[in-house]
Amino acid sequence: MKTIELDIQHALYFAEKEYDGLKEAAVKAVTTVHDGSGPGSDFLGWVDLPSKTDEALVDRIIATADRLRERCDYVVCVGIGGSYLGAKAVTTALQDNFADFYLPRPKEPKLLYAGQNISEEYTEELCRLLKGKKFGIIVISKSGTTTEPAIAFRVLKDLLEAQAGKEEAKDLIVAITDASKGALRAMADKEGYETYVIPDNVGGRFSVLTPVGLLPIAVAGHDIKTLLLGAKDMERATALPDEGNIAQTYARMRNALYQSGKKIELLVNYNPKLHYIAEWWKQLYGESEGKDGKGIFPASVDLTTDLHSMGQWIQEGERTIFETVISVKKPAVTHRVPQNAENLDGINYLAGKNIDEVNKMAELGTLIAHEEGGVPVIRLELPAIDEYSLGQLIYFFEKGCGISGYILGVNPFNQPGVEAYKKNMFALLEKPGYEEATKEIKKKLK
């Protein structure tokens, strides 16, 4: 099977001194991830998750997915952050760009998402769509207390019970949460839902290879065994602290660039299927590293689309950015530019070429232009957009993130800053227990 390749030659000379200086720190960071001697070591369960995942668990997930696929026209995944983005990223990458628009609709159940925002329109429009339809719910929350999914689940559960009856609804709801803590666990036990556990030692943003990601991905009809195999192979390939460990090299390179003044990393793709991979990656790196007044700001662009909106800034704006480009080696299909006798559009020089050939030249031309414009470019080559490659990519980024956070000198596995908005929101909504905070925040509003 083909593996992901990492190329740092278009970035290294921008920060060679810093890269050399991080040699030992990078080795130490890999060792720290593996021996659990660093901060946040209670959350290292993702490190050997691919190789430790029990076959019986995977088979049960597939059986649950088959049941939902059989009985539902729509399955709504309710969750936010790490309980949402991994599944969204993989299912978007693997599905046909126009899957939603085929008529008549294929028999496949459609995967929808909820609880990732608090929009009244989104909620109402989703309910309007689901009215009278056969649907199921996968509700995902590690803490079991997050407000956004709790609201969405309450609304959808009411709708499902009203339409299907309480008994039938019970079989169409699956909860993925903590083994014993949280309101969702209590509710699932009381109502008798099928449940899956999010391991204690796996944080939300590292949980895509647990049932959190695997169940929705299986419901969408994708091969989770091959996804896990790709991850397992990358686990093995990045197990040692040596020069051949591509996660170590990526983490070391991006920290070297950060030290040389490149404070923003743009994750770049040339294929719209990878848009949500970037959204998942932004959470992974942003929440893991943005703390203690430090951290590379993770941003992303979809090219060539965004070359027509962000291209000017990237080429000539403040020189504080570097890029990590995900290049897909082989498209899954072929489509050529047609010949045209009149050539009114003047593009006959492209006739007969695969569209991907044009895309690759746009990619190469952009790499040269950005590099010459002062933007270091790290290149990741993905063999294809398939389950095996995505499994590798997910694990590669997770491992790179743990190593990078330790090189940076932060705890990559906590997220204390996420609480600040919640505290204010609860105070403003006068949640019981927040009486003092409510008084304080009201004073600020005067």
The catalytic position among 148, 279, 287, 323 is: 287
Distance between CA atoms of residues 311 and 36, nearest Å: 42
Work out which of 53, 64, 91, 141 binds ligand PA5, going by CB under 6 A: 141
Identify whether 308 is a catalytic site residue. Answer: yes
Known catalytic membership, residue 370 = no
Per CB under 6 A, the list member of 143, 304, 315, 348 interacting with ligand PA5 is: 143
Alpha helices in 238-301 (DSSP H): 246-259, 275-289
Q: List, in sequence order, every residue forming a beta bridge with 35; answer none if it has no partner.
A: none
Residue 2 is among the residues annotated as catalytic for this protein: no
| Contacts of range 51-56, beta carbons closer than 8 Å, 24 or more positions apart | 51/232, 51/235, 51/236, 53/209, 53/228
Nearer to ligand PA5, 317 or 417 (CB): 417
CB of 30 to ligand PA5, least distance (A): 22
What mask of x and - would describe binding to ligand PA5 in positions 368 to 387, judged by CB under 6 A? --------------------
Question: How many angstroms separate the CA atoms of 86 and 203, rounded?
Answer: 12
Q: Which of 411, 399, 141 lies closest to 287, judged by CA?
A: 411
Bridge partners, residue 269, by sequence: 302, 326
User: What is the signed CA dihedral for 10, 15, 16, 17, rounded to 10 degrees?
Assistant: 180
Please tell me which residue in 131, 294, 353, 422 is annotated as part of the active site. Answer: 422
Q: Residues binding ligand PA5: what is the number (CB under 6 A)?
A: 14
Alpha carbon of residue 352 to chain centroid: 36
Site string for ligand PA5, 280-309 (x = CB under 6 A): -------x----------------------
Going residue by residue from 188 to 217, which x/- string records binding to ligand PA5, judged by CB under 6 A? ---------------xxx------------
Which region, judged by CB under 6 A, interacts with ligand PA5, from 44-52, 95-103, 142-150, 158-166? 142-150
Kindly state whether residue 415 participates in binding ligand PA5, applying the rule CB under 6 A: yes
User: What's the token pair of residue 280?
Assistant: 């998942």
Binder among 38, 81, 402, 412 for ligand PA5 (CB under 6 A) = 81
CA distance 273 to 169: 33
Minimal CB distance residue for ligand PA5: 204
Q: How far apart (Å, rounded) are the C-alpha atoms in residues 340 and 351?
A: 8
Positions marked catalytic: 287, 308, 422
In the complex, the residues that contact ligand PA5 under the rule CB under 6 A are 80-83, 141-143, 146, 149, 203-205, 287, 415
